[in-house]
Amino acid sequence: MIPTRIEQAFNQQLNAETYSAYLYWSMSAALEAMNLPGFANWMRIQAQEEMTHADKFFRYLIERGGHVKLTAIDGPPAE
């Protein structure tokens, strides 16, 4: 079993990684709107990387007998 303090920290980091993905997706949408598809694609790739990080925290918690707690993700800034 994983200590509660560590479990909480991993769940917070999982949320932070997912928020980062949202932020990159938001930037990708803005870049698409500016007709900059290459930059938009780069941001989507970064979003995928952040979700890979989140998945690693997710899997680690499960493999160690911890509990994954998915919490609300703040929306990124619109501008």
In this predicted model, what pLDDT tens digit does every residue of 15-47 receive, in sequence order? 999 999 999 999 999 999 999 999 999 999 999
**pLDDT reading at 78 higher than 90:** no
| Predicted pLDDT of residue 1 | 82
Residue 72: pLDDT band by 50, 70, 90 thresholds? Answer: very high
pTM of the model: 0.91
Q: Return d(Cα 25, Cα 43) in angstroms, integer.
A: 7
CA distance 54 to 39: 23
